[in-house]
Chain A
């Protein structure tokens, strides 16, 4: 039997006073991330790619070392890894850069599980270019209708932009299979791995994707930093979205040239401390995942407990990881979440920035409990014990 306290003790934000089940929104920070960031601040910080003194060199080395670590999370090379401020920025950068490849009548294909961050940039680009955003079908069991999705991929499809794991349902999408058909049609395949990287192994090469985005704060690192990892062809050909210091090679009164490689995508002073903290968290994560109580069994406990509560509907796709969406007959999810919060139980309620999906599940949004490496059976039990009590209070 694993002593969960050895894991929980590594997260200063985790105590028994609070049941933190909102890990799909953000995770608590691992102590190694906090210590790494504090260490960077205490030793004296410097901007990167600018100063020529030892402090700047030290910062540069730590920042680039972090890039190597984060690229390895998805089995990629540091030369493919752009630091962004968020997953959203990564997806917007891709949409901006790929817009020149999209023409009138073209199609951008997304899944029915997308976060707004992987819907809205494509809608804007489609509108500008006279293209169409099409949504793949979903089956009644909340799984992707793969045959339907495959049938939608054709010679007009220029982009296939899909999440690896649904932020609402936890459903894992068959990315490798989608990539095969997308590439056959000549389309670029983009994957939002924000909800995946802290939970399942992710290999850009095995999945066969052209670009993948993910962020630090959903994998026990700090907020304010994400990664956009791209195939070399995209790094070479895409125009950068953010222009300014750090990304230019030559600027004269008349001309501007970008730096080569990933550097052209990192305009402005980067979030050095967040990169350092993120790398520390990423290095700690494999051991935590290995030694933890196991997301599969906790999810199973959560789902079976929820379905046994009268009035609870669980939206439970067959191939899902530690995110569970549910609703309670006659009760608004915000009221339930508010009352659970008063009992120290943190879940999320609403549309989860995935309104098109959630509107298909429930009229007023859904409740969501999402697991992290520090959660255990006791956390799940406390939610399951509180729900009937809260429900009775609200009726």
Chain B
């Protein structure tokens, strides 16, 4: 990993963007059945652009850190969300997460993609 585990752990423990978002435009949920990670994501969208994201994540450090960075950083147009993948999450985290943890890395992203596609 190019950033240390402690940085990921700090992200995972962060309370920022946690909880249901007031006035959310959409909600999405995803789970990683292999290890029980779960993530709820709420998103506020105007003019097809993401203005705010919040989440409730349960699971390993990587899945929770990924949810936190997604909520903090993603402010793209919604059509971009559908094209994002694990490598984009690695870029956001600045961490070279192993392919073995791909599903942990992308659970929150899938929840966000589910939210956007529900609109």
Give me the interface of A with B, judged by CB distance under 8 Å. Answer: 332-335, 338-339, 349-351, 355, 359, 363-365, 393-394
Contacts and interface: CB of A to CB of B under 8 A. Distances in A.
B59 A350 contact: no
Interface string B20-38: 0000000000000111110
A334 B35 contact: yes
9 contacts: A332-B61, A334-B62, A334-B101, A335-B60, A350-B34, A350-B36, A351-B36, A364-B37, A364-B59
Interface residues of B, number: 16
Interface of B: 5, 9, 33-37, 58-62, 98, 100-101, 104
Contact of B36 (A338, A363, A393): A363
Contacts of B34: 350-351
A349 B35 contact: yes
A334 B9 contact: no
Contacts, number: 40
Given A332-B61, A334-B101, A364 B5 contact: no
| Majority SS at the chain B contact face | mixed
A365 B33 contact: no
B73 to A, nearest CB: 23
B61 A351 contact: no
Nearest to A332: B60
Given A364-B60, A393-B5, A333 B35 contact: yes
A194 to B, nearest CB: 19
B61 to A, nearest CB: 5
A351 B5 contact: no
A392 to B, nearest CB: 12
Contacts of B101: 334, 338
A350 B58 CA distance: 14
A355 B35 CA distance: 9
A367 to B, nearest CB: 11
B20 to A, nearest CB: 21
B35 A332 contact: yes
A365 B60 CA distance: 11
A338 B98 CA distance: 9
B60 A334 contact: yes
B62 to A, nearest CB: 8
A351 B32 CA distance: 11
B5 A350 contact: no
A335 B37 CA distance: 12
A334 B5 contact: no
A339 B60 CA distance: 12
A332 B58 CA distance: 10
Contacts of A363: 36
Given A364-B37, A364-B59, 5 more contacts: A338-B98, A338-B100, A363-B36, A364-B35, A364-B60
Contacts of A393: 5
A18 to B, nearest CB: 16
Nearest to A352: B34
Contact of A394 (B9, B33, B35, B58): B9
Contacts of A349: 35
Nearest to B36: A364
Contacts of B60: 332, 334-335, 364
